[in-house]
Structure 1
C-alpha cells in the first residue's frame, strides 16, 4: 500500500496537493501577467459534447423561452419577459476535474479515508469536489506536440524523458504548487470526428506521473480524456489515476482545450480554475483560464 502524501497536511486533510498553493505561489503567479489577455481553456458544452459510452450525454431543456409569450401576452407583468433553462449532465464531461474521491484502490482513498464512505445515498462523505478550493497559481504547458513535431499517436506513451525535454524546450521547471498542463494533440485531432474513441489515446505513463508528483505540483491536466495513456500497460488499470489521486492527492484536469495557449505562444502563465462546489461530488466541469 502506497501513501506518499498521506497525513502530510494532517490526518483530516481533504484538499491534497492543492495545499502546495500558498500566498507565495499566488503572488508569484500574478507577476506572470504581461498583456492582461484572458484565454478560456475549456471545451464548449452542449448535447453534442462527446462522452464515453458508459456516461450519458448532456441534456439541455428550456423552462421558459420566447415562444411562451407568443401565446400568453398576459404573462408579462410590468412588461417583464425572461428565459431560463435546466441542464442535466455527468460531472465528468468535457473539460472537468477529478476530485480526490474519484479513484482509489485497496478500499482506501487519499489520506486513509475508506472507500465505503462513498454511497449512492450520501455521495462522497469525504474528499468531495466541494473540498477543492479555487485554484490560482502558476500554469505551465508542456507541449509534447511541439517537442515531437507532430500530434502524438493513439496509444503513444509519454515518459519522464519526454516531460523533461518538453520542460527544457519551454524554458520552465515544474515545481511546488504548479498546474502542469500537457498537450498531446489528442483533442485537436478529434475535432470533426463523428464518433470519438475513448479507448485509445496518447498520455503519460506511471513514472511520468510520479515525476510530476514528486516535484510537488498541485494539479496535472491534459488535452486528452484520461491524462494517462490508453490502453493501459498489461496488468494495470488507470495506474496514473491510482497513484496521483489516491497516493499523492493530486486532482486531474481532463479534456483541456489548449489551442489558445499554442496560438499565443505562451508556456508560463497565471492559471485560474474553480470547480462547482457540489457537495459529495466526484468531479466537476470547469472553465479554466490562462491570464497572459
Structure 2
C-alpha cells in the first residue's frame, strides 16, 4: 500500500497537498498580477449541465417569483422579491474532489478509515469542509497547443514538454491546470460521453505530486484517461487523492485562458464548506 504523503503533515492532517501553499506561495502568486484582468474557469450550471448516468442532475425552482405577485401576493410599500432553491450533486460542472471522495482498501488519505463516510453523517474525515480557500500560482499546461486533439493518455513526457513550451517549472504549492480540449469538444453536445476521454496517466500524476503540486485540474470529467488501463480502476484518483492527499479539480473551462497566452497567473478558488461533503462546485478564477 502506497503512503507517500501519509504523516507528512501530522497524523491528524486532513488538508493533504494543500499544505504546500503558505504565505510565501500566496505572495509569490500575487506578484504575477499585471493587468488585473480576471478570467472565469467555470462552467455555467443549470438543469441542462451534463452529468454521468449514475449521478443526479441539477434541479432549480423558484420559491417566490413574479407570478406570485401577478396572482395577488401582498406588496408592502410596493416591495417585491424573488428567491430560488437549487438541488444538485456536489460533483457537477466545474468542481473539486475532497480527500474523502476516493479511497482503496478501506483507507482514505493519511490512513483514515473509509468506513467513516456514511450517508447519515457525511464524511467524518477529509470532508470538503476541511479544505481551505485556495490562493496560489496557477500554471497552465496546454496540451492542445502542444499536441493538438484528439488526445489519449497523457504521460509524464507530455507534461514535461508542455512545461518546457510554457517556460515554467512546477514548484511546491502550484495549481497545475491541464488543457486537453475535451470540454471544448463537448460544448453544445446533446449526448456527452463520460466513458471515453483524454487524461493523465499514473506516471504523469506521480511526477506532479513529486514536484509538490498542491492540486491538479483539467478540462475533462475525471482528470485521468478513460478507459482505464487494463486491470485498474481510477488509478490516478487512487494515486493522487489517497496516496498524496491531492485534490482534483475537474470540469474546468480553459480555452479562454489559453487565448491569453499566460502560462502563470494568480489562481483563486474556494469550495463550499459543506460539512462532510465529498466535493464541491466552485468558480475558480485566473487573475492576469
Whether these two folds match at TM > 0.5 is yes
2:79 paired residue number: 80
From 226, 248, 266, give the equivalent of 2:262: 266
State the SS of the aligned residue for 1:32.
coil
> How is 1:185-204 mapped onto 2 (pairs within 5 angstroms)?
185-204=181-200
> So what's the TM-score if we normalise by structure 1?
0.98
Aligned-pair distance for 1:267? Answer: 1.1
> So what's the TM-score if we normalise by structure 2?
0.99
Aligned-pair distance for 1:152? Answer: 2.6
Aligned-pair distance for 1:40? Answer: 0.5
State the SS of the aligned residue for 1:193.
coil
User: For 1:232 and 1:266, how far apart are their aligned partners in 2?
Assistant: 32
The CA RMSD measured in Å over matched residues stands at 0.7
Aligned length: 288
| 1:38 is aligned to 2:26 | no
> How is 1:1-16 mapped onto 2 (pairs within 5 angstroms)?
1-16=1-16
From 167, 173, 187, give the equivalent of 1:171: 167
From 211, 216, 229, give the equivalent of 1:215: 211
Superposed CA offset, 1:242-292 (max 9, x none): 010000000000000001211211111000000000000000000000000
1:290 paired residue number: 286
User: For 1:290 and 1:89, how far apart are their aligned partners in 2?
Assistant: 25
5+ residue gaps, structure 1, are none
| 1:277 is aligned to 2:273 | yes
1:249 paired residue number: 245
User: For 1:259 and 1:60, how far apart are their aligned partners in 2?
Assistant: 28
| 1:47 is aligned to 2:43 | no
User: For 1:270 and 1:182, how far apart are their aligned partners in 2?
Assistant: 16
1:128 paired residue number: 127
State the SS of the aligned residue for 1:284.
strand
Superposed CA offset, 1:73-121 (max 9, x none): 5x11122100000000110000000000000101000001001011111
Aligned-pair distance for 1:72? Answer: 1.1
State the SS of the aligned residue for 2:195.
coil
Superposed CA offset, 1:167-205 (max 9, x none): 000011111000000000000011121100000000000
State the SS of the aligned residue for 1:136.
strand
| 1:157 is aligned to 2:156 | no
User: For 1:278 and 1:142, how far apart are their aligned partners in 2?
Assistant: 30
Structure 1 consecutive aligned stretches of length 4 or more whose deviation exceeds 4 Å: none
User: For 1:151 and 1:141, how far apart are their aligned partners in 2?
Assistant: 17
> How is 1:58-97 mapped onto 2 (pairs within 5 angstroms)?
58-73=58-73, 75-97=74-96
